Amino acid sequence: MEIIMYRLHQSLGGRPARRGTASAHQVLADTARVLRLSGALRLAPRQAGWLQVQRGPVWLTRSGDPDDHVLRPGQRLWLRAGDGVVGEPWCAGQVVALAWSAGEA
> Could you read off the pLDDT of 64-91 as tens digits, one per residue?
999 999 999 999 999 999 999 998 888 8
53, part of any domain: yes
Q: What is the mean pLDDT of residues 50-55?
A: 86
16, part of any domain: no
- According to DSSP, the β-strands at 68-71 and 58-62 are antiparallel
Give the CATH number for residue 66: 2.60.120.10
Tell me: the pLDDT tens digits for 24-52? 666 766 654 344 445 688 888 888 888 88
CB neighbours of residue 6 within 10 Å: 22
17, part of any domain: no
CB 48 within 8 A of CB 81: yes
State the pLDDT at residue 70: 94
State the residue range of the domain holding 73: 2-10+23-102
The amino acid at 89 = P
Domain tally, the chain: 1
Q: How far apart are the first and last CA of the chain?
A: 15
18, part of any domain: no
